[in-house]
Amino acid sequence: MYAVIKTGGKQYRVASGQKIKVESIVGDVGAHVTLDQVLAVGDGSNVQLGTPLVAGATVMATVLAQGRHPKVRIFKMRRRKHFQKHAGHRQNFTELRIDSIG
């Protein structure tokens, strides 16, 4: 059984037991999270699509870690103008383990 969920402005196809990294969600490590924005639920040939959400469908997950992705280096330069600009960015993430789809 799988589900398509929406969190953090992105969509993920998840199944039970799968680990995913999503945009930061408030919660301690080991806490249980309910994701209620389920766009589709399917098992084999049966697929239930929502308009836009599937009524009554939820995905239960456990928070495994709160962390930050590796740094992305940003470098801007204008040729012949002696302009250089350095910046960096590290995005926060929450690692989830999908427990059940209901």
Q: What is the pLDDT of residues 34-83, one digit of tens each?
A: 999 999 999 988 999 999 999 999 999 999 999 999 999 999 999 999 99
List beta partners, residue 100.
60
pLDDT band at 32 (very low <50, low <70, confident <90, very high): very high
How many domains in the chain? 1
Residue 44 is predicted with a pLDDT of 85
Whether the CA torsion 47, 48, 53, 55 is positive or negative: it is: negative
Residue 35 is predicted with a pLDDT of 95
One DSSP character per residue, 18-56 reads -EEEEE-----TT-EEEE--EEEEEETTEEEE-SSS-TT
Domain of residue 24, residue span: 2-101
Strands 83-89, 92-101: pairing kind: unpaired
